Every structure is written in structure tokens, then in C-alpha cells.
Amino acid sequence: MHNWTDDPTRPERILWLHGPAGVGKSAIAQTISHSYGRDKVGATFFFFRSDPIRNDGNRLFPTLAWQLALSVPTAKDLITSSLEDYPDLPRKAIEAQFDRLIVQPFLTISGDESASPTCIRVIIIDGLDECSDVKLQRRILKLIGNAVADPRFPLRFVICSRPEAHIEDFFAQFQYPTLQIDLVNVDGTYRDIETYLKFEFARIAVEQELDPVVWPGQRILDCLVFQSSGQFVYASTTIKYVGDEYESAVARLNVILGLEVCVGKSPFAELDALYTEILQRQPDQDFLKEFLPVLVASSMLVGIEDGNLDDAMLLGIDEKELRRKLRGMHSLLKFEPFIHLHHKSFLDFLLDSSRSGERHVNKDFANKRYMELITDVLVKATSETMKRLNSHEGGHFKPRFATVINRVPLPIKIPLENLEDILRPLLIIQEKLLQLPNMSVPWKSRACEECWTFYMIDDLLLHLKLLRGKAQSQKPKYVGLRPLTAIEERQSIPQLDLDACLSLLLANLRGVEVLLNVRTIGLMRALVRFDATETAMKIRSMTDAENLVELIFCNPML
């Protein structure tokens, strides 16, 4: 940014600095503004949403013109003359304001060869997205774009904003060179936050007579840097809260770390207000209420980075429509290569009812809803497949959330009783599949190998059996009225082939506990998943299948 500011010959007449909420755009804009005198930065305007004066776009150009009159002496008389000729300009449309107060005066100066070099200035407009009127934001961008398209116009603009969709659209369609800086992709953000935290904690330690070598320590610093997700507002909020001169820095840092209960105002009150304001601005609040639990559940999947890939399918809309509905969430969500969180702190906000209030998303509810939607999608897909086993009019069914339910253990934490209720439709579907005609060929073999529908049903029902088995394995098991002895346990381990294992297990379903070795467990898993065709045919009912699965997965060796 300094290089661009220092070089007025650069082809880019607009520099767009953008990034999500709290990433530090305003701090950078203020730093650039303070780094230069009025001979370089001629005027600034910092929008602020909660201030009725600073969120009014109609005040932008009169304010900039007043500052330009002070920083560019040759423009002062021309700007003053325009106000004398049109005293009601501050109350006119912004198009008239911009033309008469800024464009015409500076085009006049640039036509004077002796005065032209002295009128080149940079104008900084920070927080354009915080202008209260979105239509006004678009008009401001259009006016600036038209002005800089004229090579005679000597002013250049720094525009700082969140990556709101309509602002992104403007720069995507703008035909002239622009310099765009995405703070999300700037290298060294985490390093800068760590440097900032070290400096500020050292200052606080001195003020509160703590040892800066010992407190807070590198481990806690690393934790805070990670929690920030590259978000400067998180770091600055932490320092502001911990550094209160009338409170214990140690105790307040423990509140931030969750080691002590917060008494009084939340340390993240400012951040929470920012998140609340963004959510309140979303036009489709009903859809937002449906989307947030899915976002929370998929964002909590441990070790699965692309858990949000199929959010559109789960919500029953296409990807394009999902992105359209979430256009106002660009400051909280990343949209490439898929929709996911910019900052972990937003997830923390949603999960904490004391912070998010009516926007709170209960973790258990989110997981339950996520699994309900997966089940709904599978039931619908299976019903369609059963009608047309070899038809692929809509393409192969290969949802990316298959990687979620294929994990063992299931990464979505749901109590057994809830999972049984949620997956009951899949049991009904499987019962229907077993009743299909011509079952001499297994139903999975009759379906398309590239579609994952039936395999995913197997995976989910297998998870259900595992959970049931885990619950049962915690109960004491007896043969008749006494436990098995060690000798009986060894004698009860079958070393037979798959058919013999099946016969033995079915014969012992009424009370005899069979302990399985690793080899037999593998055979039984193949059986239960219906991968062994001839053996599977020996199971004559879903009751036999259910009992067999219960027996296999109650075994503590699993």
C-alpha cells in the first residue's frame, strides 16, 4: 500500500483493501492516513454503522471536499465558488455533490500545467459497507469509477470494506486497472498478531507488576493466536479486556481462556455486537435459521475440512441459490472453494447462548438436525433409485458428506436414542430393499457401482449397531445364570469359515455369548454389510439380521 501511495504513476487509480469483519482494515487505513501528510493523503472518511452521522453516505463528498480545500490550496477557491453558486449542494443528490465539489474543481486544476502536479492526492474511504444505504454504496462506487476512468482526473482512491457481494460485483465488472488486497490471503497475519500480543502483554505485565518473561507464557500466546483465526479484532478485544487498569490481568486472561467465569460485561461484547449486527442485516431470516445449525454441525466435524461441501443439497436448494441467499454473509463466511467460516470466534459466538442470545445454536440440536437432513436426502435418493435402478437422469448420487458418515467412530456426536429415531426411515427403506424381487442377486449388485446411496445406508446403520453394541457391552453378560469361565471363553472362539460362523451365531442367538477373534469379526462385518452374497441369503428376515448384528457389535473386542 505504501508503494502504491508513493507512486502516482501507477496505472491503478483505485486500491480496494478488503477482508472479513474484524480483520484490521480500519487500523490499516488509519496507519496509512497518519503516515502521510496532506500533500499525499488529501482527505479521509471513516464510515461507522452505529453513528448516525458517520453512516450517512450523503455526508461523504461534502466532507471530502472540505478536507481537500484545506490540503490542496489551488482547489480551495474553486470548491468555495461551487458552494457559493449552489449553497444547497450538501442537501442535493450525491451525483451533484461529487461533480461540483470534487470532479469539476480538480479537472480545472489538472488542465493548468503549472498547478497540475500539486493537486495529485489519495483519498481514503474506510468502511464503505457500513454506509447505512446499500443503494447509496453502489452509487458512490459508480461515481468514483466514472471519475478515475478520465486520465485527467488527478485523485486516487483507497476503498476499505468487507467483501460484500455488491462491492465484489462492482470491482469484478470494473474495466480499468485496480489494485485489490485481500487481507485473508496476506502472508504473516498470524505472525503480526503474535507480535502485537507480545508487545501489549509485556506492557500490561509492567503496569501490573507481573514478570513479562513468565506471564502469560508462549503456550497461552500460541493459544490466543490460534483462537484469533487471523482476526485482529479478537486480539485487540483481548488486550482491551485484559489490560483494564482497575482489574487483575491474570484473572481477566483466565476469563478469556475459559478458566474462570465472567462476571459483568462479556470480554467479547464488541465482537458479539458486530456479529449480531451482520446477522440482523440478512434479508431472509427464516433461511438463516435453517442454515446456521447446518453450518455449526459441519464446522464441528473434527478432521474433515470440507464438511460444508454439500450444505446446499442438505437444505434442498442448489449451490447457486445457496450462495445467493448468503450474499450478505461474505464478511463472516468464505465462499471458495466452498462455504465455510472465516473465523472460529463466530462459531464460539453461535454456541454460547450468553453471547448470541436468540441467535444461539445448541450443539446437540445442530448435530441432530444435520443427521436428520442427511437421512432425508438418503431416503429421497433411495426411493428414486428403487424406481429406476439403472437410470441416472440427474447424474450419479455421490454426495461429499459420504466421507463424514464413512468415518469410524461417527464424527457427529448424537445420543443412541436420538440416532435410532433419526435413522428409522432407513431401516424401513432397507426392509423394502430386502423384499425386492429376484434377490438371488444382491440389491447392491443390481444398482450402479458409481452411486453411493446403498453403501451410505449401510454405513449409517452400521454406526447405529456400533452404538447399540457399545451400550450393551457395558452390561454384564451371562451364560444361563453364571459368567463364562476363561476355558469356556477360549473354547467358544470359532475358527471356522463364513458359513459356519453364521450357523454357529444363529444357533447361539438365544443366550450363549460367543467371543469373536479378529478374523471372525472381519467375516461378520462382511456378512452384515451384505458383501458375501450366498451367505447373506441365509438370513431370512430383518429380525435375524438385527439379532445377528446386535450380537456381533456387542462384543467388547470391537
Characterize the bridge pairing of strands 155-161 and 121-126.
parallel
Question: In terms of C-beta density within 10 A (0-12 exposed, 13-18 middle, 19 or more buried), how is residue 209 classed?
Answer: exposed
Q: How far is CA 453 from the centre of its chain?
A: 27
User: Cα–Cα distance between 224 and 211 in angstroms, integer?
Assistant: 19
Name the fold adopted by 1-182: Rossmann fold (3.40.50)
| Residues contacting residue 37 through CB under 8 Å, at least 6 positions apart | none
Bridge partners, residue 192, by sequence: none
User: Cα–Cα distance between 480 and 217 in angstroms, integer?
Assistant: 60
Q: Is 80 helix (H, G, I), strand (E, B) or coil?
A: helix
Helix (H) / strand (E) containing 264:
none
Domain with CATH 3.40.50 in the chain: 1-182
Q: How far is CA 388 from the centre of its chain?
A: 37
Per-residue pLDDT of the chain in tens (558 residues, 90 and over written 9): 999 999 999 999 999 999 887 788 888 999 999 999 888 999 999 998 888 899 999 999 999 999 999 999 999 999 999 999 998 998 999 999 999 999 999 999 987 655 556 688 999 999 999 998 999 999 999 999 999 999 999 999 999 999 888 999 999 999 999 999 988 777 678 888 899 999 999 999 999 999 989 999 999 999 898 888 778 888 888 998 899 888 899 999 998 888 777 666 778 887 888 889 889 988 899 999 999 999 999 888 755 655 566 788 888 888 889 888 988 888 888 887 777 887 888 999 999 998 899 999 999 999 999 999 989 988 888 777 767 656 656 667 778 777 777 776 777 888 888 888 888 888 777 777 666 554 444 444 445 667 777 778 877 877 777 777 666 655 544 333 344 344 443 344 444 444 555 555 555 443 444 444 444 454 455 555 444 444 445 555 555 555 555 555 554 433
Report if pTM > 0.95. no
